[in-house]
Amino acid sequence: MDAHVKDVVREMTAASCEERIGFPDVVKALAEAGVERYHADLVAGAKTYFMPDGDLEATPTKDAFVPALTFCAERVEAAVRAIQRGEIQYREFCRRIADAGCAGYFVSLVGRRAVYYGRTGDSYVEWFPGAGPAERRR
């Protein structure tokens, strides 16, 4: 991963944690830098960004969370909707999804979706706004 992309992913992690930027702008900046996907580990307090060639960069976040034992997809979805409506910001979003049993999530820029997962592998898939039917069949 070249120095420019490393700078971008580090800045996106910091900007998210400091609540200076929203998800759409994060996705745009990462896509422009060539990032394929990233993983947010809520328990470890880290994000790992992946390039198409398998190169990666791990960055620490400001917070780590202990997820609830039971995963509740409906509560994860409710937190997604709340942040989309601007009712909460990123750190509160992370707290809410952890309280709903989410241990982490994967964001696929190419696949235009986020997959939230719990401690036992239960999951909830959230498609990016505007993702079309063809993308949903992938």
> Domain 3-126, what architecture?
2-Layer Sandwich (3.30)
Enter the pTM of the model.
0.92
Residue ranges of domains in the chain: 3-126
Residue 101 falls in which region: left (phi positive, over 0), alpha (psi -120 to 50) or beta: left
As a whole number of angstroms, the distance between CA 47 and CA 42 comes to: 8
Q: Each residue of 47-103: pLDDT tens digit?
A: 999 999 999 999 999 899 999 999 999 999 999 999 999 999 999 999 999 999 999
* Residue at 40: amino acid letter: A
pLDDT-based confidence at residue 134 (cuts at 50, 70, 90): low
